[in-house]
A and B are shown apart, each in its own frame.
Chain A
Amino acid sequence: MTTRMFGAPVQRREDARLLTGGGRYLDDLGHDALAAAFVRSPHAHARVLDVDVTDALDVEGLVAVYTWEDLPERVRDPLPLLIPHPSLVAPRTGYALARGEVNHVGEPVVMVVATDRYVAEDVAERIAVTYEVLPPVVGVAAAREAVHLVHEEAAGNVGAHLVQGYGDAGAAIDAAPHVLELDLDVERSACVPLEGKGVYAVWDTDEQSLRLWSSTQTTTGVRAAVAAKLGLPLAKVECTAPDVGGGFGVKIMHPWPEEVLVPWAARLLERPVKWTEDRREHFVSSAHERQQLQHVRVGFDDEGRVLGLDVRLWHDHGAYIPYGVIVPINSSTQLLGPYKPGAYRVEFWSLYTNTVIVTPYRGAGRPQGVFAMERTMDAIADHLGLDRADVRAANFIQPEEMPYDFGLTFQDGRPLVYDSGDFPASLRKLKDLVGWDGFEEQRARARAEGRRVGIALACYVEGTGPGPYEGGHVHVETSGRVNVSTGLTSQGQGHQTILAQIVADELGVPFEDVHVTTGDTRRFGYSVGTFASRGAVMSGSAVALAARRVRAKALRIAGDALEADPGDLEVVDGVVRVKGNPGASMPLGTVAVLSNPLRYAFDDTARAATQFAAGGRGPDEPPVAPGEEPGLEGRDYHSPLRSTFANGMHAAVVETDPETAEIRVLRYCVVHDCGTMVNPMIVEGQILGGVAQGVGGALYERMHYDESGQLLNASFMDFLMPYATEVPPVETDHLETPSPLNPLGIKGAGEAGVIPAAALFASAIEDAEGFRISRMPISPSELFHLRERFAAGEVPALRRGGPAGAAPATPATPATPAPSDEGA
């Protein structure tokens, strides 16, 4: 019997190539192509008065310069509103090139095409754009105040507004024994993939067809959008994602201005054109995420059970809202986590600002939602003097309550129903892993040494694998080679490995014989894309179903040939054989030969399928049986009822330096449940990568805009990404509660690691310091200033106290209403 591949920690087959420089990224293509560069707005908000190219004309190698006025119908129209939603009240999208006004620094105004990128940059530098600067709206607080407007038609800078909930949260809170209010604040961060975006387009004048490569998370989406913009038949446009050096969400947004303009120019000029984003461009013209202001009002009982929860979110979506409200919907629904408040009301305002647009970044609104909920859980525990883990446990949805229907609508437009999970079991595992119950002794020892340590845990539930569908195609060649294709793209997740594992098992063939193609519209034209931790769930299920079709067909054909009932056959190691009679068998490759009757014998295997070969179908039967198709292949789709919900719990132990306020992570523990694991090693890798981004997002990374909307840290000199030295070793444990929503029982794992990190570190640092932390990320200097404010009585102390010597000079009378205890 072949070793079962599903569930085995198989090494990633991509890695040998990627780790030895064999990757082929967008910029590795099209060396002879013309290069595009862009003149981008230096202002956050301005009218474009004039574009003067006079000084640029003498640059040798200049080919073309385009502004909005040059663009034809459709290309000059606003970029699409990708995800319409009823909550959008004033949806605005940008133009491929600015039309008379710019709304953030980095917005493209002029496109230059030249013989190479150096020349294109030289030309861009010599183009003079005259602006009339307008007052910018920077930051979500300014947007909420609405002294100035980003778009005149968006009153109060509101782009979308939504209220959801169940029960009467206001009444439940008012009637609760205890009430707390919290004001919370999460700053901007971004995906920052090491490879930025990039587009390469080749127009074939004779064929009137377009070949397009993009560093994207959805080739089918880009293909359709470009065909629509350029007015081309879909059949004349093909899009491929080469190796993609990280996506993390930013590359699911499409079409980017460059994805429309580069193909348009390639067609117009009848020359290949390429654009590769540089690092500054990525910072100022791609997309960010995370920034929200939050207000929580919660009513709870003596055990810490939440009776009513009222949350208001002010979400910053930047200058335009092409990706709709996915992020704030995720925040507003997924903040519930593993808990079941008695009544819930959430209201969000999605606000325009004169900063880069916001689209999902790994976690996609969940880190902020989890921040709101977990900060609330911690505040409840501190208020009641209860253990933070116990308060959480008191609020858990129980395993026997699954599936759990909140009566809310999730971001995929489907009901928010948790399919499975065992939160009490996960919590037990996590407490064991981190040594939760024994920590006070550790803390006492550390204190005795003059050290400050803190511990925390944070929980989340993550909707993964949303529909509408993905498809798979499995094809067995006469050699026995198995080709698998699926439409969604890969950005390093290991799809080539896990999809091959799934198909190898379903089909009964060696793993080595299975070859996977993703993200190429020439191979599979129907797909949605890679986002929301859906690759394994959606395409994994689809290729499994497709492989089952192939297997069934193989058994039918082999059954005829071997004169056996297909039900008595099995496929082992690529050989179809009669169960219990290994002598009666044929390789799957031979079945492929039989599946495709031939006239011409171009090689030995083909000869076996020609009309005079023995073993063919009888003279009274058509060579291809009715209802069959030639070839041993199959195609199928997975379209789930709704998202499947993975979950996890993280714990961390941190130490803060009493002098410098430096924050060190001593331990980081993860218990994760993504249903059945296809490959535990890859799941682990996904979690580690997510934790790295979570650490970055909590302690280092932020988008530092000044009041005029200039991004001050738009480079790797100033934007602090964690190195391996800043990412702690991660201890993991897994729970597997299979999902009932797909044939493999799997749930997504791609975003898990990043989601609870900000909440977790806020809680751990708070635990070490003894005062409230309500704003993330936090740097050592911010912690230092918080200590000073705490000492001055401006920051409330925890009721449970803190390290000796860290108490405020005067008893804490909170300067802000948060948290206050209205009901006590």
Chain B
Amino acid sequence: MKVTGTAVLHAPVERVWSALNDPAVLVRTIPGCERLEEVGPDRYRMTVTAGVASIKGSYVGEVALTEQQRPGSFVLRASGSGAPGTVSADVLVRLEEAPEGTHLAYDADAVVGGPVGGVGQRVLTGVARKTAGEFFRAVDDVLAGGAQEGAAEPAAAVPAARPAPEDGPLPAPPAAPGPAVHVPPPPPPAAAGGQQPFVLGALVGAGAALLGALVGGLVARRR
């Protein structure tokens, strides 16, 4: 499955690069990401909980950032598996200066196996593309808020793409338990019991921003 797309981020290339390589940002912006753990240089282990009606579950995967040509491009290799199936993907991300800030292009080649692979190409690519858009908007929001240390930020830094909880005090986001483990701020209520169309994206998404965005996007449909 090939998915390509572009996004515009309103920050200089260097800042975008940093954000996309910052697990604390990623863990908050990748839909469905619960936990992101550094297991080596530029290698992360992630946990994503997501699911659609027929495909629900917890997914564990690994993501590696390679071929980094700071600040112009990097390749993200991700693989993950859960009850609904397996995903592996290579995503080439290119960043370029643009009048608005940064022009980003991604080019993903994913292999999807197991039942999740049976939902139809148009659904997979459609969700991936749409989620990527949402992911980049979330990243853009973080960038706009100047928030680079997302996990420790107050609730106000939660990306605007996710509605804030409507009632009850928002528990203070836990401080990052250690330098290598990141958990996102608590999800809005809508996500708690909401049906999430596709895990896949989350999975991969957890791994890295883009992949997460792409496939992870699949995860995070929360309407």
Question: Contact at B115–A53, with CB atoms within 8 Å?
Answer: no
State how many angstroms separate the Cβ of B152 from the closest Cβ of chain A. Answer: 32
Residues of A130-180 contacting chain B, CB below 8 A:
none
Interface string of A293-335 (1 = CB under 8 A from B): 0000000000000000000000000000000000000000000
Question: Contact at B123–A64, with CB atoms within 8 Å?
Answer: yes
User: Which residues on A sit within 8 Å (CB–CB) of B5?
Assistant: none
Question: Contact at B127–A268, with CB atoms within 8 Å?
Answer: no
State how many angstroms separate the Cβ of B13 from the closest Cβ of chain A. Answer: 29
Give which listed residue, A58, A60, A65, A268, contacts B115 with CB less than 8 A: A268
Residues of B91-135 contacting chain A, CB below 8 A:
115, 118-123, 126-127, 129-130
User: Which residues on A sit within 8 Å (CB–CB) of B53?
Assistant: 60-63, 114-115
CA distance A704 to B53 in the complex (A): 41
A449 at the interface (CB under 8 A from B): no
CA distance A611 to B129 in the complex (A): 74
Residues of A34-82 contacting chain B, CB below 8 A:
34, 51-54, 57-58, 60-67, 69-70
Residues of A7-39 contacting chain B, CB below 8 A:
34
Question: Contact at B122–A65, with CB atoms within 8 Å?
Answer: yes
A523 at the interface (CB under 8 A from B): no
Question: Contact at B195–A61, with CB atoms within 8 Å?
Answer: yes
Question: Contact at B119–A64, with CB atoms within 8 Å?
Answer: yes
Q: A58-B223, A115-B53, A268-B115 are in contact. Are A64 and B127 (CB under 8 A)?
A: no
Give which listed residue, B115, B123, B197, B221, contacts A269 with CB less than 8 A: B115
Question: Contact at B123–A62, with CB atoms within 8 Å?
Answer: yes
A706 at the interface (CB under 8 A from B): no
A271 at the interface (CB under 8 A from B): yes
Q: How many residues of B contact A (CB 8 A)?
A: 20
Residues of A67-101 contacting chain B, CB below 8 A:
67, 69-70
Question: Contact at A53–B126, with CB atoms within 8 Å?
Answer: yes
Majority-rule SS of A interface residues: mixed
- Across the interface, name the chain A residue whose C-beta is closest to B194: A60
- Across the interface, name the chain B residue whose C-beta is closest to A271: B54
Q: A54-B130, A57-B221, A58-B223 are in contact. Are A34 and B121 (CB under 8 A)?
A: no
Question: Contact at B121–A69, with CB atoms within 8 Å?
Answer: yes
Question: Contact at A66–B120, with CB atoms within 8 Å?
Answer: yes
User: Which residues on B sit within 8 Å (CB–CB) of A64?
Assistant: 118-120, 123
Residues of B187-212 contacting chain A, CB below 8 A:
194-195, 197
Give which listed residue, A57, A67, A269, contacts B118 with CB less than 8 A: A269
Q: A63-B52, A64-B119, A64-B120 are in contact. Are A58 and B221 (CB under 8 A)?
A: yes
CA distance A605 to B7 in the complex (A): 80
Question: Contact at B130–A57, with CB atoms within 8 Å?
Answer: yes
A270 at the interface (CB under 8 A from B): yes
- Across the interface, name the chain A residue whose C-beta is closest to B217: A57
State how many angstroms separate the Cβ of B195 from the closest Cβ of chain A. Answer: 5
Q: A57-B197, A61-B195, A269-B115 are in contact. Are A51 and B223 (CB under 8 A)?
A: no
Q: A53-B126, A54-B126 are in contact. Are A60 and B118 (CB under 8 A)?
A: no
CA distance A65 to B130 in the complex (A): 16
State how many angstroms separate the Cβ of A294 from the closest Cβ of chain B. Answer: 47
Question: Contact at B122–A270, with CB atoms within 8 Å?
Answer: no
State how many angstroms separate the Cβ of A697 from the closest Cβ of chain B. Answer: 41
Interface string of A797-815 (1 = CB under 8 A from B): 0000000000000000000
State how many angstroms separate the Cβ of A35 from the closest Cβ of chain B. Answer: 11
State how many angstroms separate the Cβ of A274 from the closest Cβ of chain B. Answer: 14
Question: Contact at A270–B127, with CB atoms within 8 Å?
Answer: no
State how many angstroms separate the Cβ of A68 from the closest Cβ of chain B. Answer: 11
Question: Contact at A57–B126, with CB atoms within 8 Å?
Answer: yes
Question: Contact at B197–A62, with CB atoms within 8 Å?
Answer: yes
Question: Contact at A34–B54, with CB atoms within 8 Å?
Answer: yes
State how many angstroms separate the Cβ of B215 from the closest Cβ of chain A. Answer: 14
- Across the interface, name the chain A residue whose C-beta is closest to B131: A57
State how many angstroms separate the Cβ of A269 from the closest Cβ of chain B. Answer: 5
State how many angstroms separate the Cβ of A130 from the closest Cβ of chain B. Answer: 13
Question: Contact at B52–A270, with CB atoms within 8 Å?
Answer: no
State how many angstroms separate the Cβ of B119 from the closest Cβ of chain A. Answer: 4
CA distance A66 to B119 in the complex (A): 7
User: Which residues on A sit within 8 Å (CB–CB) of B130?
Assistant: 54, 57
Question: Contact at A269–B54, with CB atoms within 8 Å?
Answer: yes
CA distance A66 to B121 in the complex (A): 7
Q: A57-B123, A58-B223, A70-B121 are in contact. Are A270 and B115 (CB under 8 A)?
A: yes
User: Which residues on B sit within 8 Å (CB–CB) of A51?
Assistant: 122
CA distance A57 to B115 in the complex (A): 18
CA distance A544 to B17 in the complex (A): 82
User: Which residues on A sit within 8 Å (CB–CB) of B121?
Assistant: 67, 69-70
CA distance A62 to B218 in the complex (A): 12
- Across the interface, name the chain A residue whose C-beta is closest to B121: A70
User: Which residues on A sit within 8 Å (CB–CB) of B55?
Assistant: 63
User: Which residues on B sit within 8 Å (CB–CB) of A67?
Assistant: 120-122
Question: Contact at B126–A63, with CB atoms within 8 Å?
Answer: no
User: Which residues on A sit within 8 Å (CB–CB) of B127?
Assistant: 57
- Across the interface, name the chain A residue whose C-beta is closest to B55: A63
State how many angstroms separate the Cβ of A358 from the closest Cβ of chain B. Answer: 32
Question: Contact at A65–B120, with CB atoms within 8 Å?
Answer: yes
Residues of A233-284 contacting chain B, CB below 8 A:
265, 268-271
Residues of B10-32 contacting chain A, CB below 8 A:
none
Residues of B64-96 contacting chain A, CB below 8 A:
none
CA distance A269 to B195 in the complex (A): 18
- Across the interface, name the chain A residue whose C-beta is closest to B118: A268
State how many angstroms separate the Cβ of B67 from the closest Cβ of chain A. Answer: 31
User: Which residues on A sit within 8 Å (CB–CB) of B197?
Assistant: 57-58, 62
Interface string of A754-794 (1 = CB under 8 A from B): 00000000000000000000000000000000000000000
User: Which residues on B sit within 8 Å (CB–CB) of A269?
Assistant: 54, 115, 118-119
User: Which residues on B sit within 8 Å (CB–CB) of A70?
Assistant: 120-122
CA distance A269 to B119 in the complex (A): 8
User: Which residues on A sit within 8 Å (CB–CB) of B118?
Assistant: 64, 265, 268-269
Question: Contact at A53–B119, with CB atoms within 8 Å?
Answer: no
CA distance A769 to B130 in the complex (A): 68
User: Which residues on B sit within 8 Å (CB–CB) of A58?
Assistant: 197, 221, 223
State how many angstroms separate the Cβ of B50 from the closest Cβ of chain A. Answer: 14
CA distance A34 to B53 in the complex (A): 10
CA distance A62 to B129 in the complex (A): 17
- Across the interface, name the chain B residue whose C-beta is closest to A63: B54
State how many angstroms separate the Cβ of A796 from the closest Cβ of chain B. Answer: 59
State how many angstroms separate the Cβ of A623 from the closest Cβ of chain B. Answer: 51
CA distance A57 to B130 in the complex (A): 9
Residues of B36-72 contacting chain A, CB below 8 A:
52-55
CA distance A58 to B217 in the complex (A): 12
State how many angstroms separate the Cβ of A54 from the closest Cβ of chain B. Answer: 5
State how many angstroms separate the Cβ of B61 from the closest Cβ of chain A. Answer: 22
Q: Which 7 A-B pairs have the closest CB atoms?
A: A268-B118, A64-B119, A65-B120, A66-B120, A53-B122, A115-B53, A53-B126
Given A57-B126, A58-B197, 10 new contacts (CB under 8 A)? A52-B122, A57-B130, A60-B53, A62-B197, A63-B52, A63-B54, A64-B123, A70-B120, A268-B115, A269-B119
Binding site for B on A (CB under 8 A): 34, 51-54, 57-58, 60-67, 69-70, 114-115, 265, 268-271
Name 26 interchain pairs, CB-CB below 8 A, sorted by A: A51-B122, A52-B122, A54-B130, A57-B123, A57-B130, A57-B197, A57-B221, A58-B197, A60-B194, A61-B53, A62-B52, A62-B123, A63-B52, A63-B55, A63-B119, A64-B118, A65-B120, A67-B121, A67-B122, A69-B121, A114-B53, A115-B53, A269-B54, A269-B115, A269-B119, A270-B115
Binding site for A on B (CB under 8 A): 52-55, 115, 118-123, 126-127, 129-130, 194-195, 197, 221, 223
